[in-house]
Each structure stands twice: as structure tokens, then as C-alpha cells.
Amino acid sequence: MASSVAPPPGGHMVTAEQIAAWMPQAERDLQALVALPSVADPQLYDLGPCSEASRFTARALRSAGLMDVRVVDVGDAAPTVVGRSPAPPGAPTVLLYAHYDVQPPGDLDEWRSPPFELSARGGRWYGRGAADCKGNVVAHLTALRTLGERLPVGVTVLIEGAEEQSSHGLTRYVTQHPSELHADAVIIGDSGGAAEGIPALTVALRGVVNLVVSVTTMRAAVHSGMFGGPAPDALAALIRILDSLYDARGNTVIEGVPPSDAWHGAPYPDAAFRREVGLAEGVQLMGTGSVAERLWARPAVTVLGIDCPRVVGSSMSVSARARARVSLRIPPGVDTQSAAVALTAHLQARAPWHAQVSTQLAGAVAPVQTPLSGTAHVTAGDALALAYGRPPVLRGDGRSVPVCAALAETLPSSEMVVLGVEEPACRVHAPNESVAPAEIARIALSEALFLQTYAQREGNCGRTP
């Protein structure tokens, strides 16, 4: 990796002070976005706030200097915002990605402040989406506002509204519009550093297969006193099926899914992991091998939810039906379709008492491995090093970003860089999600430096038209 970032021809590099001047606007942007409960699930929320968030984002991109900005219905529950600034003659184009939709807030009693109100305390900004991923939207906006009209590259901005719902429509849109979305480099703003103040380039994203498994044993529930014992309990059958997904140490064991691989990037210390997940006293971690291997290089199955009688109000009866939502995270190198077939076969083969088992695929996202070399990778690493005052570590991300696989397949000649504001203390998807304003500033500075210097480096490397 090169040790310095050269100034762009005829100009000066963006400074932290220039970014800082835009941070009050960044806070206003984030306040406005967090105030919108943009959960793109019509089963849970009205979709009006998603539409409002898309319109706000479009207005913000125009104010940041992009002239061609559209709100596009891609067939998802919420629209995507596409903005463009054409490349100067001979210059490359960079695509910036993030999303404005968020996860539901969950149990409101667990929030110390209202989830859809940006609240400041302890040097952090709290609110649902403050980090994932509205904080990254704001980082993009801040970088573009700081550069103003001095863009030495073409810029395409893609801000979607249904990432948390697997991006089915946007994925189709990407594959159908390769020329519109052509870019030499793609910056995925939906990840983060190893910790606040420690930058990272994410070089591996796990894929995911989601299945709903249903178990049926009888026509209807029966009295547990009159029939319990010989009557096959569907809930007990489901529990035994789910338990078979793990060995005694907690490793995921599914025939047909490679069980393990090595991780060659930055480590993830056990103590840091225990602290960041809030491990209860005396509880052991699941699985074997290093934390980094278990997170980024191995499959991991999670039971996301179970439909069964609630404790309060349950009757003295044997369950006839039960179902669960099962999520299988898969590392790069594992085929998504093969993993779905293997998980389905495993669930059906482990049914006790010949219980009837059916499965339904509820979504799948392919894993992604980003290049470890190339102009964009080197430029991004140098930009992060300059913005943070220390070089980035190479790490994985156990999460999935659905559109990444579609962008990699549709734009095979482009280089993908994954970074962002979402360090572990952000508690994304959990109550009391937050972001460090300093991380938004540092990522905005990193992106601005990248946009300033990428054109010069890409030109020196001989860009393919």
C-alpha cells in the first residue's frame, strides 16, 4: 500500500477543517432522516415515511451539487434515489452506495431516548438508523458538499430504500441498467471500522440464506392430559430439528456446507468481542477457532424467530404445528443456491417421529470478496490512513449487503471498496443504536480524499475505456 496521498493536479486536498465546517449541516441532515420511521416493511409500518425519506435524500443530493437526481420505483416497497454528476473528459466514474431504510426499533422500553429522534449524549448521536445506514448517507453528502463543484471524477450516487428487505427490486434494476450505473470504482457505505478511530477496509461480506421451516404433526392441538405422551408434539419436533444445526460446541454443522476456513486478515480479540456483544457473566462463546474465523470465514446459522404458543395465555395442549425462521450466513466461496439446498435437506432429514416438514425460501444474498489490490483499494487505504492518522486494518463483515453481488456481477471491471461509519459500539439493529459524529467526519474526509486522488491514480494505471 502506498504511504502517501498526492494532491490533485492544480488543487489542494480537502482538510479535516473543511469537513468540520459542514458537520452542523450533517447533524441537521441526520436529524431529519432519523425522524422518519423508514421501515420498508408494509406488514409493520406505513410506507409514507420511506417515500418522504427518498424525497429528502434527493433534495439533499441536489443541494450537494448533483444536477441529475431521480427518485426511481425499482419494484421494492420503497424507492431508490439515483443521482449523477458526469465525469470530466477522460476521468473515471465512482459510484457511492448507501440506504435510507432501517430496521424496526424493537422494544421501545429498551431505548433510553425515542428511536426516531436524534439524541446527543456521551459524545454520540442516538437513533434508529443513525449508523445503519443514514449515517453513511450523511457521510456521502458531507464529502460531496465539501468538494462542491471541484469533482475531478464522475459520481453516481445510489441510495436505496429496501436494503433491510433484501433489495430484490434494486438487484433487478442494477442488472437491467449496466450502462446507467457504469463505474470504475464502487464505494459501499454500509460497514465500518474495527472500533471508533480505527479505520478498516471490509474485504469479505458473508452471504445469507433465509428459510421458514414448518412442522405439522396433527390436524389440531389436543389436550396434553388426555393425549400427551404418545401424541407427537410439533413444537418439540421443531426444537429437535433446530438443535441438530449445531454440534456440542456450537459450531454450525450442515452437510453440504463447508464447515470452516482460515481468516488471514485482522484478528478480532475475544475480550473485545465479549465486551461488544454484552456477553452475560459465565456464558461461553459458541463454536471453536478464532472469533474472526467464526465471524467472517465460516457458516453460521441463527434461529431468528419461532411461531408457537406464548407462555402467557398458553393452554394445556400438545402443539400440532410450529414454525421457525432460520438464517444461514455463508462466507465467500460458498454457493448460495447450494447452501439453500443443503439447509433444506438438513431440516427435512432431521424430523423426529416422521413429522411433516416443509420449507420456504424467504430470501438469499450471495457473499462477496472484494479485491485486495488495485487502484481503488490502494487509494481508499491511503485516504483512510490520512483521515484517521493510522492505516486501515483488513477485516470481514458477517453481515450481507444484498446489492453488492449484483453490482459485482453487472460491473465486473469495477473495483469495490467497502467502508463506513458503523463501528461495533454503534449497536446497529439493536436498541440505542448510535453513531460517533467523529466517524461521520472521518469517513466523509476519506471519501473526499478518495474522489480527489482516484482520477489521477487511475489515469496513471491506464484505465480501460
By annotation, the residues acting in catalysis are 101, 163
SS3 state of residue 263: coil
Decide: 63 and 149 in contact? Cβ < 8 Å: no
CA pair distance 273, 315, nearest whole angstrom: 40
Residue 213: which residues within 8 A CB-CB, separation 6 or more? 238, 241, 323, 324, 326, 347, 357, 358, 359
CA pair distance 368, 171, nearest whole angstrom: 14
CA pair distance 125, 127, nearest whole angstrom: 7
In whole angstroms, how far apart are CA 424 and each of 192, 233, 369, 428?
8, 41, 21, 8
CA 418 to chain centre: 10
Q: Which residue has the cell 401424541?
A: 231
Q: How many CB atoms lie within 10 A of CB 71?
A: 16
CA pair distance 166, 401, nearest whole angstrom: 8
Decide: 182 and 409 in contact? Cβ < 8 Å: no
203-226 burial: b if 16+ Cβ within 10 Å, else e: bbbbbbbbbbbbbbbbeebbeeee
* Amino acid identity for residue 97 in this structure: Y
Residue 412: which residues within 8 A CB-CB, separation 6 or more? none
